[in-house]
Structure 1
């Protein structure tokens, strides 16, 4: 287990990191206090027991959100991020687990019913599976959507597009066809790096003369 600290300074979390890591023991992969937050990385298979202990023993009563993150270069490319809130301590805690495309994460819907929609969102956007979820299906994309759009290797254009066909009198799916190649610009704004004069710029050039 790795426990890291930021530069010494006053913190509203004084002693919290040490208390939690000591209580959770071998379930902790790493822990850090940084940028005003405590982040604890947990063994995936132990996430339900850890979150139950945090809720019942350490007063993190509310599950505020579950998010995903994708790091394709890692053996376990996905992180599932649980954002907890303690009403009595008045601060938040971030808990993470790692997984891959094929390995499910245990559902926490038995601890917080609102986890159901959060886990469905992570499944929809990243393809992360949640073992024991009562209704794991897409929640934001269309039923016929292909792939998981928040993965780093998902194309910006998607795979298919849909439109209403007057001929068929229904919505039809078609392969994406671009009228022109997708262009990437490497400057920060339309006013930097462009090799043309924007409307109004000619007046500024005239004032310099």
Structure 2
């Protein structure tokens, strides 16, 4: 017997945007629908009340994730994004609010206990403060770490580096020394059009030459009948291998000034006999045993 689950198989968001927007009321700033998902932007000071309404009145029981986003060009550069899940309606929505470095966001640990870890992660990586979180400590970076790694103005190498010191027998922190400056960011994408000249683009505005160089006759390029005739000739003509060769040709001249060797003293055997292998002596023939005499003889 098949078991039917009360949750629908597919999320139906037709009319859901208007329903949730009406429920949020004055807490809501903007509601959008994109890529089959609903996104609600609420006031920062009302984030706890808005999420409580969604949890208690519309059955979004689970807080799946809290993420941070950094937009350095904005007045309130950070966005805190809350992702909610309704198990009974099989529906996911996204709720977000904006914040700056000195404007804390109300904590939602009063609604979901797991929000404590998620808020610590956003604080550690982005520097967003959460008012009411009693344990707002770093969770990913080391103790005493300075800065927030996911900010878009944070240098790629950090401000400090650590190494093990053999002299002090412990891990020490030292300022990062860079051979090339990587700490200047203009937040301008070269693909969208930078307001400065990129390396290699300084020749783009160079006007073309008035009269391009042309080769109107073969003599300008070195071509012609004379060059073709030389090209068809044999490159190695007159080489030593053509002059001295064949049967009865004299030996080539020596290439070294080494004096001649003195004649070898004593008898010199023939090289043929000296290099031939010695033949093994033949084994003596075996004698046949004599026949035994018969007793009658």
Q: Give the TM-score of the pair, scaled to structure 2.
A: 0.57
**How much does 1:91 deviate?**
1.7
Structure 2 CA distance for aligned equivalents of residues 23 and 144 of structure 1: 44
Q: Would you identify which runs of 4 or more consecutive aligned residues in structure 1 move more than 4 Å?
A: 179-182
SS at match of 2:155: coil
Determine the structure 1 residue equivalent to 2:148: 148
**How much does 1:21 deviate?**
0.3
Structure 2 CA distance for aligned equivalents of residues 54 and 69 of structure 1: 23
Q: Contact 2:28–2:40 at 8 Å: present in 1 too?
A: yes
Paired residue total: 174
Determine the structure 2 residue equivalent to 1:89: 89
The CA deviation string for residues 16-41 of structure 1, in whole angstroms up to 9 with x for no partner, is 10000011111111010101210000
Q: Contact 2:83–2:95 at 8 Å: present in 1 too?
A: yes
Determine the structure 1 residue equivalent to 2:29: 29
Q: Determine whether 1:44 maps to 2:44.
A: yes
The CA deviation string for residues 131-172 of structure 1, in whole angstroms up to 9 with x for no partner, is 000100100001111101111111111101111111111110
The CA deviation string for residues 39-87 of structure 1, in whole angstroms up to 9 with x for no partner, is 0000111111110110010010000000000001111110000000010
Unaligned runs of 5+ in 1: 1-10, 187-209
Q: Give the TM-score of the pair, scaled to structure 1.
A: 0.80
**How much does 1:181 deviate?**
6.4
Determine the structure 1 residue equivalent to 2:69: 69
Determine the structure 2 residue equivalent to 1:174: 174
The CA deviation string for residues 84-126 of structure 1, in whole angstroms up to 9 with x for no partner, is 0010111211000101000100000010000000000000000
Unaligned runs of 5+ in 2: 1-10, 183-189, 191-297
Q: Contact 2:23–2:53 at 8 Å: present in 1 too?
A: no
**How much does 1:180 deviate?**
5.9
Structure 2 CA distance for aligned equivalents of residues 22 and 58 of structure 1: 12
Structure 2 CA distance for aligned equivalents of residues 83 and 70 of structure 1: 17
Structure 2 CA distance for aligned equivalents of residues 34 and 12 of structure 1: 14
Structure 2 CA distance for aligned equivalents of residues 91 and 167 of structure 1: 59
| RMSD (Å) for aligned C-alpha atoms | 1.6
Which fold has the larger relative contact order, with Cα–Cα distance below 8 Å and residues 6 or more apart in sequence? 1
Determine the structure 2 residue equivalent to 1:203: none
Structure 1 CA distance for aligned equivalents of residues 179 and 73 of structure 2: 33
| 1:1-209 mapped onto 2 (5 Å cutoff) | 12-178=12-178
